[in-house]
C-alpha cells in the first residue's frame, strides 16, 4: 500500500472518504420558502421517475424471454424500452440540479470560498442555463404540438403510436429543469444579497440574511 492509498490519516478508509467528497462536493446554499417548495416538488418527481428503470428492466427481461424462448420479437416492446428509459432520464434531470449531484466540469470549484462558488452559480444560471432552457422550451413546445396535430406514429411496422408523448416529455423536462434553476437562483441570491429571505441552510444551520 502506498502513502497516497493511506490518505492523510494513514487509513485507506480516509482516502475513500476524501475521494467521495471530491465526487459529491456540494455548494451549501441557504434555502427560501419558494425554493423549498420547488425542491420538494422536483424531488418527488425525480424519485417517482426512478421507478421507470425498474419497469424498463422488466420489459427488457420480457422481450428477451419472448424472443429467445418463444421466438416472438416485438418492435413495440423495444420502442417502449427506449421511451421509458428516456423519460426516466429526462424527468430526473431537475432532481440532480436540486440535490447538486450533477457533473461539474470544474476542478477548481471546490477550492473556492462559498461566496465565490455562489457568484459562479449566479452567472452560470443567468447567462448560460436559463437562456438555454428558455430557448429549448420555445422550440420543444411547438415540436410536440405539431406531432400531436398530425397524429404522428412510429415509422417502424407495429411500433408505438402517439409519438407526441415522448416529444412532449422533452418540453416538460426542460420546464422542470427551469424550475430547478429558478430554485437554485433564489438560493444563490439569498446567500449573496439576503433576498429572498433565507430560512435555513441545507443542513439545518440557521443563517442571517446575506451574512452566510
Q: Is the dihedral of CA 37, 38, 39, 43 positive or negative?
A: positive
The answer on pLDDT for 210 being more than 70 is no
Write phi, then psi, for 201 (nearest 5 degrees).
Answer: -80, 165
Cα(28)–Cα(84) distance, rounded to whole angstroms? Answer: 33
- What integer pLDDT is reported at residue 38 of this predicted model? 96
76-134: per-residue pLDDT in tens? 888 899 899 999 999 999 998 888 876 666 677 778 888 998 999 999 999 999 999 99
Q: Hey, which residues does 201 pair with through a beta bridge?
A: 30
12-22: per-residue pLDDT in tens? 554 544 444 44
Q: Which residue has the higher pLDDT, 15 or 194?
A: 194
What's the pTM? 0.77
Neighbours of 172 (CB within 10 A): 19
DSSP code of residue 110: G
162-191: per-residue pLDDT in tens? 999 999 999 999 999 999 999 999 999 999
Inter-residue contact 163 to 152 (CB < 8 Å): yes
Cα(179)–Cα(147) distance, rounded to whole angstroms? Answer: 25
Cα(127)–Cα(144) distance, rounded to whole angstroms? Answer: 26
The answer on pLDDT for 42 being more than 80 is yes
Amino acid at each position: 500500500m502506498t502513502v497516497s492509498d493511506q490518505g492523510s490519516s494513514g487509513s485507506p478508509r480516509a482516502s475513500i472518504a476524501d475521494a467521495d467528497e471530491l465526487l459529491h462536493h456540494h455548494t451549501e446554499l441557504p434555502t427560501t420558502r419558494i425554493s423549498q417548495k420547488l425542491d420538494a416538488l422536483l424531488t418527488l418527481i425525480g424519485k417517482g421517475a426512478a421507478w421507470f428503470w425498474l419497469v424498463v428492466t422488466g420489459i427488457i427481461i420480457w422481450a428477451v424471454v419472448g424472443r429467445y424462448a418463444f421466438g416472438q420479437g416485438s418492435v413495440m416492446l423495444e420502442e417502449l424500452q427506449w421511451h421509458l428509459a428516456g423519460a426516466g432520464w429526462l424527468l430526473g434531470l431537475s432532481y440532480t440540479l436540486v440535490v447538486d449531484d450533477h457533473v461539474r466540469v470544474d476542478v477548481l470549484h471546490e477550492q473556492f470560498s462559498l461566496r465565490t462558488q455562489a457568484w459562479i452559480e449566479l452567472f452560470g444560471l443567468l447567462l448560460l442555463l436559463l437562456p438555454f432552457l428558455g430557448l429549448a422550451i420555445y422550440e420543444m413546445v411547438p415540436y410536440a404540438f405539431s406531432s400531436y396535430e398530425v397524429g404522428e406514429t412510429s415509422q417502424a411496422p407495429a411500433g408505438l403510436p402517439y409519438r407526441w408523448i415522448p416529444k412532449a416529455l422533452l418540453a416538460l423536462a426542460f420546464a422542470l429543469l427551469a424550475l430547478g434553476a429558478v430554485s437554485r437562483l433564489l438560493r444563490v441570491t439569498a446567500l449573496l444579497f439576503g433576498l429572498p429571505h433565507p430560512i435555513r441552510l441545507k443542513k439545518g444551520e440557521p443563517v442571517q440574511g446575506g451574512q452566510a
